[in-house]
Structure 1
Amino acid sequence: MGYKALARKWRPKNFDEVMGQTETVSLLRNALTSERVHHAYLFTGTRGVGKTTMARIFAKALNCEKGVTPNPCGKCFSCQGIDNNNMVDLIEVDAASRTKVEETRELLDNVQYAPTQGRFKIYLIDEIHMFSKHSFNALLKTLEEPPEHVKFLLATTDHEKIPATVLSRCLKLNLKKISNKFLINYIEQVLEGEGIASSREAIKIIAESADGSARDALSLLDRIIVLSDGSIETADVSKLFGIIDKTIIIKIFELIAENNQAEVFKLIRDLAELAPNYELMLDQMLSLLKKIAVFQVTKDASQLSQDEDKIIMLSKKINPELCQLFFEICLLSKRNLIYSVEHNVAFEIMLVRLLNFKSDANNESNSQTQAGSSYSNSSIGDTPSKGMGSSNDEKKINKKDSTSAQAIQCLTWLEIVERLDIGGLPGELVNNAEMTYLKNENISLKIPLKHQHLNKKPYIDSIEKRINKVFGGTFKVAVGLEESTPDVDSPAYQKAATKEENTSKEKERLLNKPQVRDLQNLFDAKLKDIHLREET
């Protein structure tokens, strides 16, 4: 017999083997025991959490020759047929490959006929959200009032794409991500069954990399087993995934805390030779900063890892305000990493920002002043907006407000507006305004005369409330009118300018297409205009 992937070989065969889905298993067991089985179930959840597996076990429970039971025997003709994928009365459908309405109607043509072998005819439709609108419509009537011998088991990773009319006809079961604790136990069980030795730390790395998916965990394990020599070691797993040892992450922050720029970049250059996964490195840095921040608040060392001494030491070297700011910078860097062609360059620039802020914090401490960090032209903070003063006094930020004020200065006004995600008329106001001033959590905006109807206190109060909620400060917002020009450099103006530029480039590209030129030559035609259809 050929090799079978671990994800298939170790697929749960009954409810007792399902892990991490206690509530869903309990619901299905109770429904079977009390004989209150719904005619349509919808299993939702991310990939690899057991949606299809749970549906297949439920199908066995319904058609087991022992009777409808929460504990199918796994030995009868029906149970074996479902396990071996040759049960006639279990019709499995991949909705992604059968999206046409004709295929759906053809599928439902046989609903009226009684099951051939089992007690119920069961339709298991995977990735149901891939159905077309017409396919959903064709399914509605049958789904609402199916024959007594028919059960529908639907599975999806994106239930929001399913019409409400379908959702209302199903009993929805949400399968959550599987916790690392369950995944670690599961991987250990598989390795023991396969007769392969592994270190505990290596298993933890695999579980964390699987991100709550049992199938991903076993797929990763398959790769590692092939590459290992009979034993899975932590170093091999880290190298395969591009994961850096957490002691190195701690070392990076120790060097930053000491403001040792030369050693930081020497360490990063050495790491670059290992081709690390920079996104995972940022995840590790965020995780460490979270532990530091939580310890600074709770003083509870019981939740720390075996490196608790080093984490406690870092919590003393990096003050709470700076820790929050570091977290914000790392989070923004991770979000923007996809826009960088060379991830190592983006990562190094992020380290420059951290070092700049740490250097400013040291200068502040040495001078023993009440003012916060001063931002030089080379630091992380944005250069002053139009209308903002350029003196050192105007660049200083009150130490008490450093967390929120420094974090907001990492962003342009356009980025701030995008993070506020505010709608209605307050949203119109911020989108059509330009920030002219920012100091000590005081923000000044200006809007053109054509939008003066937005300059009302309730809208400004809503904006202040939203800014304080997002950035955690006590910001005050003032709005003035710009009378000299019809427009200001607002987010709306910037987006419109970008759209106009992109449209112009697209038109120029279309004009230079050989097909267009051929048509002009063929009919001796002149191009009057080009209209681009906006994507929906």
Structure 2
Amino acid sequence: MSYQVLARKWRPKSFATLVGQEHVVRALTHALDQQRLHHAYLFTGTRGVGKTTLARIMAKALNCEAGVTSTPCGVCSSCMEIDGGRFVDLIEVDAATNTKVDEMRQLLENATYAPTRGRYKVYVIDEVHMLSNSAFNAMLKTLEEPPEHIKFILATTDPQKIPVTVLSRCLQFNLKQMPQGHIVDHLSRILEAEGVVCEALALRHLAKAAAGSMRDALSLLDQAIAHGAGKVEEEGVRDMLGTVGDDYLYALLDALAAGDAAALVAVADRMEARSLAFDSALQELATLLHRIALLQFSPEAMADPMERARLQVYADALDPEFLQLCYQIVIHGRDDLALAPDEYAGFTMTLLRLTAFRPEAANAVPRQPATAAPANKIVAPVPAQPVAATTAPAPKVESRPVMEGDDPWHQLVARLPLSGMARQLAQHCELVAMNEALVTLRLSPVHKHLMGRMQEDKLQTELQNHFGRPLKLALDLADTESETPAEKARNVQRERQERAIAAIEGDNFVREVVDMFDATIDESTIKPI
């Protein structure tokens, strides 16, 4: 006997065995039990969620020899013929290959005849949105007032393309994508019945790759069984799918939480050695960051206790504002991957950017002590000097108020009580101009991911509080012409590091040890005090 693929062998044959569409099953069951039968049904949803399967179960419920019922027996000749695809009164039409009006008219002409074997003649039209406008028009009259022995079941993955005149004549049911947990449970039951050894994490990878489609999940399961020579193991499934393993993703999160840039690059090196797809890695990392943020703000939305326990440590370790910035950097890094010299360079630069913009990083601009000048003290603008009428016009004096002590933008940023992304934005800007009502800043396009309504509003509010008057903030996206606070902080840190290294290398005792043992100094271990 030839092998039957799992997707066909385990196709549900009753409402009770259908997975993940409880809302549709409930409505259809009540309609069948109460004999409130509509003449046309429309099932919508993505591939592999059960549209055609539901249509066949409905056909059995309508034509079971036990009578119209929500629990067809499955053993009578009608039920068995429908399951085997041999029932003469179940007409399945693929609209993708029968799009013309003449084909639809011929189909509807046969609808006038009474069913041959069953109680109802059931027309299942798959991918109905592929029909031409003329074909839709040809079926409208029959669809609105069909003979009593006719039932229409339409299925589509794109309901937006179906004319409203057709939609209004059908009962519509939207089938949802399968949750990963439901897919994993269903695959576990199938493998147990098939006697196949499996690892739970392997099934989670398959469920994730299926993207909500149970049919895709079963097809991948077939492939995994063949790939693993009768076993479904996590490592084999990862190799088969070509996906980035969870161990790499969690290693990245561990390094990110620790602020360890060297560890991030080391993980990237290991991934390159295995030729893993960096685009896929950034996509999965963004998904993981989203799940962590969801756990921080709405933990009740995460139903999987295993996932919640795994991610809770990162939800506690990562600042929510920093996590939002990380997500923004990762998705922008994925967009820019094609522009990088190569994917490895683009991936590692994205990882390094995660540490470079960390609010609590060592290169953050230090805040000034509380003894600084009062924030709201303003010195009046310098007036233009009077000139005689006979002289040339005097140069125009900028109307920007001079800050106390002529403080530069760097010191002003240090005084503002900013945090998170708003502080990062301020640190990477330079002051272009300021007058009584407007502050204009310039931000390099390299840091465009720092722009956002929330952080811009926060910066504008703190500037207003600082100067004690209404101010409007304007951001220009262009290359900066002067040193920004963040660049100054990095330069200061680099100079401190260089001085520390010079001090160590110039120490007489250290030089004696180096000469005696022919040693070298690991500069990465030197930290300025």
| Fold equivalence (TM over 0.5) | yes
Q: Which amino acid aligns with 2:163?
A: P
Per the alignment, residue 242 of structure 1 pairs with: 242
What is the letter of the counterpart of residue 74 of structure 1? G
Say whether the 8 Å CA contact 2:367–2:414 is kept in structure 1: no
Task: State the partner residue of 2:137.
Answer: 137
How far apart, in 1, do the equivalents of 2:411 and 2:152 lie?
69
Cα RMSD, aligned residues only: 3.9
Which deviations, in whole Å up to 9, do the C-alpha atoms of 1:388-427 show, x marking residues without a partner? xx975799896636436858999xxxxxxxxxxxxxxxxx
Cα distance change, pair 310–71 in 1 and its aligned pair in 2 (3 A): closer
Letter in 2 for 1:182: H
Alpha-carbon distance in structure 2 between the residues aligned to 1:443 and 1:304? 49
> Contact 1:256–1:358 at 8 Å: present in 2 too?
no
Quote the Cα distance in structure 1 between the aligned partners of 2:108 and 2:455: 50
Cα distance in 2 for partners of 1:211, 1:40 equals: 29
SS in structure 2 at match of 1:251: helix
- Aligned pairs (5 A) from 1:106-255: 106-255=106-255
CA deviation after TM superposition for structure 1 residue 297, in Å: 5.1
* Structure 2 unmatched runs, 5+: 371-407, 442-451, 462-470, 479-529
Note if contact 1:325-1:407 (Cα within 8 Å) is conserved in structure 2: no
Distance 1:286 1:166 in 2: 40
1:455-505: CA deviation from partner (whole Å, max 9, x where unpaired):
xxxxxxxxxxxx74899868799699xxxxxxx999xxxxxxxxxxxxxxx
The residue aligned with 2:285 is 285
Q: Distance in 2 between matches of 1:409 and 1:213?
A: 46
Deviations 1:55-107, CA, capped at 9 Å, x for gaps: 11001110111111111111222111111111111110111111111211121
C-alpha distance in 2 between matches for 1:345 and 1:194: 46
Letter in 1 for 2:418: K
Decide whether the 8 Å contact of 2:421 with 2:455 is kept in 1. no
In the other structure, the counterpart of 1:363 is 363
1:220-269 residue CA offsets vs partner (Å, 9 max, x unmatched)? 10110111122211111122222333233222233234443333223212
Aligned to 1:78: 78
- TM-score, with normalisation over the residues of structure 1? 0.68
The 5 Å alignment of 1:518-529 reads none
Deviates more, 1:43-52 or 1:397-406: 397-406
**Alpha carbons of structure 1 residues 152 and 302: separation in structure 2 relative to 1, 3 Å:** closer
Name the CA distance, whole Å, in 1 between partners of 2:131 and 2:70: 31
For 2:276, the aligned partner's letter is: P
* Aligned-partner Cα distance in 1 for 2:6–2:89: 27
Structure 1: distance between partners of 2:415 and 2:94: 58
Separation in 2, partners of 1:61, 1:14: 9
CA contact 1:405–1:473 (8 Å) conserved in 2: no
Q: 1:229, 1:298 → 2: CA distance?
A: 42
Q: State how far apart, in whole Å, the 2-side matches of 1:443 and 1:135 are.
A: 62
1:143 alignment partner AA: L
Shift of 1:364: 1.9
Q: Which residue of 2 aligns with 1:100?
A: 100
User: Alpha-carbon deviation of 1:318?
Assistant: 3.5
Cα displacement (A) at 1:152? 0.3
Q: Which amino acid is 2:247 matched to? A: T
Q: Secondary structure of 2:112's match?
A: coil
Offset at residue 355 of structure 1 (A): 2.7
In the TM superposition, 1:209-358 aligns within 5 A as 209-294=209-294, 296=296, 305=306, 308=309, 312=313, 314-315=314-315, 318-334=318-334, 343-358=343-358
1:186-230 Cα shifts (integer Å, max 9, x gaps): 101111122101011111221222122110110110110111122
AA in 2 matched with 1:276: L
Q: State the secondary structure of the residue aligned to 2:160.
A: helix
Deviation at 1:36, TM superposition (A): 0.6
Structure 1 residues 336, 146: CA separation in 2 closer, same or farther (over 3 Å shift)? farther
1:145 is displaced (CA, Å) by 0.8
- Does the CA-based 8 Å contact 2:44-2:51 persist in structure 1? yes
Equivalent in the alignment of 1:35: 35
Q: Residue 274 of structure 2 aligns to a residue in which SS?
A: coil
Partner residue in 1 for 2:10: 10
Q: Structure 2 vs 1, CA of residues 161 and 112 (structure 1 numbering), >3 Å: closer, same or farther?
A: same
Kindly tell me: are residues 45 and 303 of structure 1, through their superposed partners in 2, closer, same or farther at Cα, counting changes over 3 Å? closer
Q: Which residue of 2 aligns with 1:400?
A: 418
Correspondence 1:53 to 2:53 = yes
Identify the range of structure 1 (282-291 vs 76-85) with the bigger mean alpha-carbon deviation: 282-291
Structure 1 unpaired stretches of 5+: 371-389, 411-435, 446-466, 481-487, 491-536
The one-letter amino acid paired with 1:146 is P
Contact 2:41 2:170 in 1 (8 A): yes
**Partners of 2:424 and 2:317 in 1: CA distance:** 19
TM-score normalised by structure 2 residue count: 0.69
Q: How many Å separate the matches in 1 of 2:218 and 2:240? A: 15
Distance 2:426 2:458 in 1: 10
Question: Partners of 1:340 and 1:132 in 2: how far apart?
Answer: 45
CA contact (8 A) 1:328 1:407 kept: no
Worse-matched range after superposition: 200-209 or 161-170: 200-209
CA distance 1:128–1:407, change in 2 (3 Å): farther
